[in-house]
Each structure stands twice: as structure tokens, then as C-alpha cells.
């Protein structure tokens, strides 16, 4: 089993780097390092070259999660490099699919919350303009979704989602 996963949000400084960090920790804990590889990207390039937002890094650090990625913009080449592209919200979903006009890679693109087991929200909200509680809520949602995703991959149901 080998899987390349890309997490996508708008700026690649809050939600997607946090999902990448959480998933990498879960992969490590499951002994799957090297078999599942994660990356993250944004639908816009405004923050390209920057580390994750300091507030998200601090919130993740309090949970023992290191966010080390550097922001980059999603490119059409990512469709070829990744088996699964997990987006945070409907706007990200549409923005990513706009770069696949033939629809050839549509089946690779999913909302990350499709894998949540305890939370019922369909989208991961952007905490950028909110307070500390928003970052904590996002980390809770991402942990739930990433755990569900890892279980689905481990069970061989990589295309199944709620």
C-alpha cells in the first residue's frame, strides 16, 4: 500500500498545513511512515513561501503537533502527483476542480469532512479571522477527519466516504 495525499485550503497557512501535520503524526503512530506521504497546498498563492500561521502553529504545538510545511499554491500537476486531494470547504473544491476542466481527476477530490466520524459538519471553517477557539475547533475537526481517513485507507476502503 502506498498513498500520496494532498490537503488543500485557500492560503495553505491554517487548515491544510494543520491537516498535514495531524495526518503525519497519525501515520507515524500507526507505523506507516513512508507508505502514506502527505503534503499541503492552497488555492491561492498569496502566502507562498511562508510557514503556517503563527496562531495555528501555537495551537498545534500545544497538542504536540509540529507544523513545518511551507505554503505553496496548488497546480494542475498536483493531480498527477497525488492519489487523493482533500479540500477543506466547497469553495476549495470548486477552485481545485476548475483546474481540471476535463474532469479526469474529479474522483480524487473530496471534502476532508467526509471522513469525520464524530463531527457532523461538512466543511472545515477558516479560523484566520477569528480567535483562539476557532483554531482549537479546526484542530478537533481535522483530527477526527484524519483519523477516519487513516482508518479508511487501512481498511482498504480508500474511496469510501460518508
Residues annotated as catalytic (active site), given as ranges: 9, 15, 126
8 Å CB contact between 128 and 11: yes
C-alpha torsion sign, points 143, 148, 153, 158: negative
How many angstroms separate the CA atoms of 109 and 159, rounded? 10
8 Å CB contact between 1 and 7: no
Amino acid at each position: 500500500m502506498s498513498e500520496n495525499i494532498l490537503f488543500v485550503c485557500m492560503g495553505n497557512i491554517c487548515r491544510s498545513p494543520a491537516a498535514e501535520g495531524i495526518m503525519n503524526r497519525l501515520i507515524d503512530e500507526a507505523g506507516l511512515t513512508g507508505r502514506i506521504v502527505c503534503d499541503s497546498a492552497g488555492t491561492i498563492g498569496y502566502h507562498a513561501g511562508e510557514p503556517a500561521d503563527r496562531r495555528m502553529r501555537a495551537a498545534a504545538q500545544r497538542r504536540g503537533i509540529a507544523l513545518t510545511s511551507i505554503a505553496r499554491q496548488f497546480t494542475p500537476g498536483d493531480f498527477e502527483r497525488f492519489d487523493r486531494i482533500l479540500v477543506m470547504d466547497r469553495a476549495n473544491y470548486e477552485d481545485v476542480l476548475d483546474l481540471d476542466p476535463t474532469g479526469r481527476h474529479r474522483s480524487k477530490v473530496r471534502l476532508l469532512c467526509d471522513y469525520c466520524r464524530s463531527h457532523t459538519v461538512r466543511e472545515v471553517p477558516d479560523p484566520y479571522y477569528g480567535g483562539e477557539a476557532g483554531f482549537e475547533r479546526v484542530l478537533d475537526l481535522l483530527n477526527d477527519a484524519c483519523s477516519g481517513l487513516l482508518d479508511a485507507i487501512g481498511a482498504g476502503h480508500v474511496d469510501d466516504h460518508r
